[in-house]
Structure 1
Amino acid sequence: MEHYVVTYDVADDKRRSKVFKTLKDYGTHVQESVFEVVLTTEDYVVLRHKLLRRIHRDEDSVNFYHQCRACENDVERLGRKVELVGIGDIVL
C-alpha cells in the first residue's frame, strides 16, 4: 500500500463534484480539493483511469504526490485530527 496526497483543480462544478465523489471512495478528504489516499498499485491505476474519464485535460488538473515510506512518518498534523481511511477499511 502506498500513500498519496491528491489535489485537484476542476473548472466545472459538475465535473468537480464527480471528482470529489470518486476520491471520497478511495481516501480521506482533508482540505478543500485535497485528499489523502492509501492505494495498492492496482487501485492507483483504477483511480487514475476513473479520474481521467471525469476531467477535461485542457481545463482541469489532478495531482498525485507520492509519499515515500520515510516521509509518511514525517507528516506533522496540527489542529483537528484526521483519521485516514484506505481501501479495505470499514467505517461504522
Structure 2
Amino acid sequence: MFVLITYDVNITSPNGAKRLRRVSKVCLDYGKRVQNSVFECVLTETQFVLLKNQLKGLIEEEQDSVRFYLLGNNWKRRIETIGKNFGLDFTGELII
C-alpha cells in the first residue's frame, strides 16, 4: 500500500529536537522524504503496523502529531504535483 506520512513535533519542548530527529530517521527507514516533514512510503500491512508502533513510542502524544494517509493500491490517480516532483517513481526499475 502507498502511505503518505506527515508529522509535527514540538521542538520547543524538552527533548523535542531529539524526538524530531528520531521520527525523521524512522520514516527514512521506510520511505522517501518529499518535504521537510512529509514522507512517501510503499509498505506491507506488517511494515505499516511496525512503523506506527515505532513512531508511537517516539512521540509525546500531548505535544506531537503524526498523520498517515493511506492511498492504497490505486495511488497513481490520486497524486498531482505542481513544481519539482520529489516523489517516488514506482513504475520504473527499482534497484536496491
**What interval of TM-score do these two structures reach, taking the shorter chain for normalisation?**
0.7 to 0.9
Shift of 1:4: 1.1
Distance 1:3 1:75 in 2: 11
TM-score, L = length of structure 1: 0.83
**Contact kept in structure 2, 1:27 and 1:35, CA below 8 Å:** yes
In structure 2, runs of 5+ residues without a counterpart are 11-15
**What is the RMSD computed on CA atoms of the aligned residues?**
2.1
State the partner residue of 1:32: 36
In structure 1, runs of 5+ residues without a counterpart are none
Amino acid at match of 2:5: V
Pick which of 20-29 and 64-73 moved more. 64-73
Amino acid at match of 1:52: K
State the partner residue of 1:54: 58
How much identity, in percent, do the aligned residues show?
Answer: 38
**Contact kept in structure 2, 1:3 and 1:39, CA below 8 Å:** yes
